[in-house]
A and B are shown apart, each in its own frame.
Chain A
Amino acid sequence: MEQLKTIGRELAMGSQGGFGQSKEFLDLVKSIGEARSKAEEDRIVLSEIDILKRKLLEPDIPKRKMKEYIIRLVYIEMLGHDASFGYIHAVKMTHDDNLLLKRTGYLAVTLFLNEDHDLIILIVNTIQKDLRSDNYLVVCAALNAICRLINEETIPAVLPQVVDLLNHHKEAVRKKAIMALHRFHRKSPSSVSHLISNFRKRLCDNDPGVMGATLCPLFDLITEDVASYKDLVSSFVSILKQVTERRLPKSYDYHQMPAPFIQIKLLKIMALLGSGDKSASEIMYMVLGDLFRKCDSSTNIGNAILYECIRSISCIIPSPKLLEAAADAISKFLKSDSHNLKYMGIDGLGRLIKISPDIAEQHQLAVIDCLEDPDDTLKRKTFELLYKMTKSSNVEVIVDRMIDYMISINDNHYKTEIASRCVELAEQFAPSNQWFIQIMNKVFEHAGDLVNIKVAHNLMRLIAEGFGEDDDDADSKLRLSAVESYLQIMSEPKLPSLFLQVISWVLGEYGTADGKYSASYISGKLCDVADAYSSDETVKGYAVSALMKIYAFEIASGRKVDVLPECQSLIEELLASHSTDLQQRAYELQALLALDARAVESILPLDASCEDIEVDKDLSFLNGYIQQAIESGAQPYISERERSGMLETTDYHSQDHHEVPSHALRFEAYERPKPSSLRTQASTELVPVPEPSYYSEAHQPISTSSVSERESSEIKLRLDGVKQKWGRPSYQSSTSASSTPPQAANGTSSHPDVGVGSSSLKPRSSYESKKPEIDPEKQRLAASLFGGSSSSRSDRKSSSGGHKPAKGTASKPPKENPIPVQPPPDLLDFGEPTATSVTATDPFKELEGLMDSSSQDGGSTDVMGVLYSDAAPVTTTTSVDSLLSELSDSSKGNPGTYQSQTSKGPNSQEALEKDALVRQMGVNPTSQNPTLFKDLLG
């Protein structure tokens, strides 16, 4: 009986099964769906791969079967397994004459292959043929494939045909041809640069879908070259106006909004065109104002358009009225319960704040709510806003908050970003150096591995140079506080390497300077560092150099140096280190300990890290010594230039030399056959002294050639971007920097002229209670962030003096690589007039003509009415229509939640059948996925 049932079921479903696939395939999908673990799933897929491999080898596979195999290959690949063994069959299927098979073939290859796959070459021919097909569905399939598979080299093979298709009678083809051309433009701008006038033409295509698609390439083109498209400003404005006046067919409506996605694209384009252009902006005022009035702020899509309006207004030169409307929209967003809208509101504030700096103030409590929200996305957006509104009066609160957040997160990408923002704000607005050092310590402690090494060097420089004014007392206080804070932090486990480098350097320079800490105490601490981080050579190098300074200062001041036993053993360990750098440092330290006070003092003078070292390139101080040597019979030095003439002959000799031992047995491995390197080897052998290109290091008393330090000196030289941050304008000249690297005496490089100023500590505005029901803590925060809504104006004015002037003056459109328009390559004889045609046939003249005539007729500019008449042929059945209206009905109402359809609608019968069918096949909602049958739009 059971068996009979099963047989009956299978008979009922036939070999085609339920969803147009075979039972086999449905079983596969079902078993995958029910797999309890990844391992089980993998087992199923692997056996499926075996089956397919076998089946694909069978001769004379029926086409219908083959189609299913290809779909099964797609499925395997979607599950993350390799189906490349079957790619070739998908490629072959694109050659088939049957459209269904061809389409499946194209679908599979677009999913399988990237544009640079070897098999593409086998498809290009088919694509070419299909582009010429009479069946527009074939052409569409080929165009879809083009958008994925054609790369720079294959563009010329299909370009002429794609261009022809721009005038195809089917709108679906024109649309896809536009998208394909757009993609060519992105892949290789030069290949289509002579064709961009086509995009302008298609903008007034009589199909709104084609017009909408044309906005994509136009957006790109305008981003690259705004000036060339200024003539289109009024056209775009007019299109937008007509869209908002519902002149497009109703089928473009979405949740009662007329063609919202087209509106949004137009707004993006207008933002580009109106940026910094008063007259262009003025043309837009009216339609933007209308949009603010018309947009339904109760739907998501209405708010999406409102938000895009806010973005546009922040880009163009806005009118006060529009700014007001934008501010209103923002405050509605912020007052909403929806997190999405709050997010948009915060983002909008960040955009408008550069135009009207006071705008955030009225929303201070909403901003603080967002800052404290558990949703990280919202929180980060709010931090972005705070970053934009930082000034010297609120820098402490904001940076403190940022650091707390930085410590709390694990996401390294964002941690890095927020750390660098903390550093930037601290450098720009620090109220005091003490505070700055504290902030830096926190950043280093918690994100030291993530910040740029430049930050560490800036900090060392600040501590070394102090205030830049001749206030030695304040400088030494600053250093002492740094030393104290470091001695405290040092005991924490697992500090980042960069931070330890800073700590070691500062302790070496200033650890004993104040006399508060003894040399043995500091040197003990340094040994601890080298010991605790024994695998970090850079830190060890810093620690040893610091030790050397401590001892040098002791010796120079005439005190007796007691090297601690642990220091002694450290030195001994490093003398035998595998790192030549550490070895060098250890030997130098050992040598220094044996020198007398006078010598030591000139090697490592106290607090001289900022002094310049004059590098005597000619080594003139050796002249006397050389003279003496020559007089006693030494050979004079011959410079490389003079020597080069002799090379030819010496080369000869060197080869002889090499050949002598070759008669004997050779035990060492043969050298690699590198003729060029052999030559240089031979030549260097005879050149006794190469030009000392490394003189700067060689000349230094102490080698500081660890990689990081060398990097640092390189970075040091480029001080761009740092110069205004601290006090008075700093010395900044890359040319002089590159000619004489300012190596400083004690191991770190520094700039002689970089002054360090201090902005005085601005009094924080005090908390004033405004609304008693609000958490006073929150209000205090608001007051310190925004200066309190009722705090005196003068206070704000004084603080706004510290406002960063350079920030956000120019509104930047989304970043995009500006692609230079190059002259078209002479690969294709296209016979089409190039760029000149842009002006020759301006489609908008025609459009305007059309508008004029219609306005004369009916007194209204009903272009869209003419172009996109609603009487377009509707081939869908009435049930589709009714569902459409039902859907849009159901989806109006509150944003975010879409009311469920209580009835199954006209298709409930189908739904029930579907449900029954799959249950019959044994697909039941399992505990793993009980929602398998749930309507997505339920």
Chain B
Amino acid sequence: SDISILSLQIRFILLQNRQGKTRLAKYYVPLEESEKHKVEYEVHRLVVNRDSKFTNFVEFRTHKVIYRRYAGLFFSLCVDITDNELAYLECIHLFVEILDHFFSNVCELDLVFNFHKVYLILDEFILAGELQETSKRAIIERMSELEKLE
């Protein structure tokens, strides 16, 4: 369970619903399958019952999970314990804004049926665990170019 390779890198991104079903999971560090399931289970347990007034940050093993809930979905990022929590919280929001834009008023169902497209959007946003592009417009443009091919 070595998820502490380098700092300043996002370790993984999870989208889970309240029941703990994984809607999307992207790992930027190599983990065993069984370890991934454990991580998903633990993260869901950590965030699902937290009071909405509480901080959006939870310690997770030797790292920190920054999470945010949108409707019935939890978006969780695992980052280094000393990194800028608020910035990652806004990262999540930017990602949701991009999704909202792409799917026009995104809802959980869009992500359920189009999870492969969500992965593609994510690949334009974060690459190798680092923020690659922070312009919503640049990402939307790239995606619409890809969509044209469909």
Contact = CB atoms under 8 A, between A and B. Distances in A.
Interface of A: 18-21, 26, 29, 32-33, 71, 74-75, 78-80, 82, 99-100, 103-104, 107, 110-111, 114-116, 137, 144, 147-148, 172, 175-176, 179-180, 182-183, 186, 208-209, 212-213, 216, 219-220, 249, 251-252, 254-255, 259-262, 264-265, 268, 300-301, 303-304, 307-308, 311, 339-340, 342-344, 374-378, 380, 413-414, 814-817, 874-876, 880, 883-884, 887, 891, 898, 901, 904-905, 907-908, 910-911, 914, 918, 923, 928-938
List the 9 shortest-distance A-B pairs measured between CB atoms, nearest first. Answer: A931-B72, A907-B104, A304-B86, A251-B137, A936-B70, A934-B71, A19-B113, A375-B54, A814-B7
Contacts of A249: 135
A232 to B, nearest CB: 18
B33 A914 contact: no
Nearest to B24: A78
B19 A884 contact: no
Given A20-B114, A931-B108, 15 more contacts: A21-B113, A33-B112, A74-B115, A147-B127, A251-B138, A252-B135, A254-B134, A254-B136, A265-B131, A300-B90, A413-B61, A911-B105, A932-B72, A935-B71, A936-B96
Interface in B20-74: 21-22, 24-26, 30, 33, 36-37, 40, 51, 53-59, 61-62, 70-73
19 contacts: A80-B22, A80-B40, A100-B149, A103-B120, A103-B146, A186-B128, A213-B130, A261-B91, A340-B56, A876-B144, A907-B104, A911-B104, A929-B72, A931-B71, A931-B72, A933-B107, A933-B108, A937-B96, A937-B105
B102 to A, nearest CB: 10
A254 to B, nearest CB: 6
Given A251-B135, A300-B89, A935 B130 contact: no
A326 to B, nearest CB: 15
Contacts of B120: 103, 107
A265 B73 CA distance: 28
Contacts of B51: 374-375
B84 A929 contact: no
Contacts of A144: 123, 127
Nearest to B57: A377
**Chain A residues touching B, majority SS:** helix
B140 A932 contact: no
B133 A875 contact: no
A186 B29 CA distance: 12
A260 B22 CA distance: 30
A209 B115 CA distance: 25
Contacts of B59: 376-377, 380, 414
Contacts of B141: 875-876
Contacts of B53: 339, 375
B71 A936 contact: yes
B116 A107 contact: yes
Contacts, number: 258
A49 B57 CA distance: 37
A710 B6 CA distance: 36
Contact of B133 (A111, A114, A212): A212
A887 B132 contact: no
A737 B77 CA distance: 48
A182 B128 contact: yes
Contacts of A344: 85-86
A907 B134 CA distance: 24
Contact of A186 (B6, B26, B70, B132): B6
Given A100-B149, A107-B119, A209-B138, A814 B109 contact: no
Given A175-B132, A814-B8, A898-B93, A932 B127 contact: no
Contacts of A923: 109
Contact of B107 (A261, A311, A932): A932
A304 B88 CA distance: 9
B30 A179 contact: no
Contacts of A904: 105
Most buried by B among A137, A220, A816, A929: A929
Contacts of A934: 71-72, 107-108
Contacts of B94: 254, 261
A891 B96 CA distance: 12
A841 to B, nearest CB: 26
A104 B90 contact: no
Contacts of B106: 935-937
Contact of B86 (A32, A116, A340, A816): A340
Nearest to B111: A936
A71 B116 contact: yes
Contacts of B2: none
A758 B13 CA distance: 51
Most buried by A among B40, B55, B107, B109: B109
Contacts of B80: 814
Nearest to B112: A29
B90 A260 contact: yes
A29 B85 contact: no
A413 B46 CA distance: 15
Contacts of B145: 137
A262 B127 CA distance: 16
Most buried by A among B51, B56, B127: B127
A111 B30 CA distance: 11
B76 interface: no
A934 B18 CA distance: 13
Contacts of A182: 128, 130
Nearest to B18: A929
A249 B135 CA distance: 9
Contacts of B93: 300, 891, 898
B46 to A, nearest CB: 10
Contacts of A78: 22, 24-25, 115
Contacts of B130: 179, 182, 213, 216
Nearest to B97: A887
A901 B142 CA distance: 26
Nearest to A81: B33
A211 to B, nearest CB: 11
A914 B89 CA distance: 29
Contacts of A172: 138, 142
B63 to A, nearest CB: 11
A441 B22 CA distance: 45
Contact of B90 (A80, A304, A908): A304
Contacts of B144: 875-876
Given A111-B119, A887-B101, A935-B105, A343 B134 contact: no
Contacts of B22: 78-80
B28 to A, nearest CB: 8
Given A932-B109, A935-B106, A261 B138 contact: no
A175 B126 CA distance: 11
A194 B70 CA distance: 45
Nearest to A340: B55
A295 to B, nearest CB: 12
Contacts of A376: 58-59
Contacts of A928: 19
Nearest to A934: B71
B18 to A, nearest CB: 7
A802 B38 CA distance: 45
A261 B131 contact: yes
A937 B113 contact: no
Nearest to A905: B105
B87 A264 contact: yes
Nearest to B133: A209
Contacts of B73: 931, 936
Most buried by B among A78, A144, A148, A413: A78
A278 B56 CA distance: 36
B78 interface: no
A307 B116 contact: no
A311 B112 contact: no
B132 to A, nearest CB: 6
B8 A175 contact: no
Given A75-B115, A374-B51, A935-B107, A343 B135 contact: no
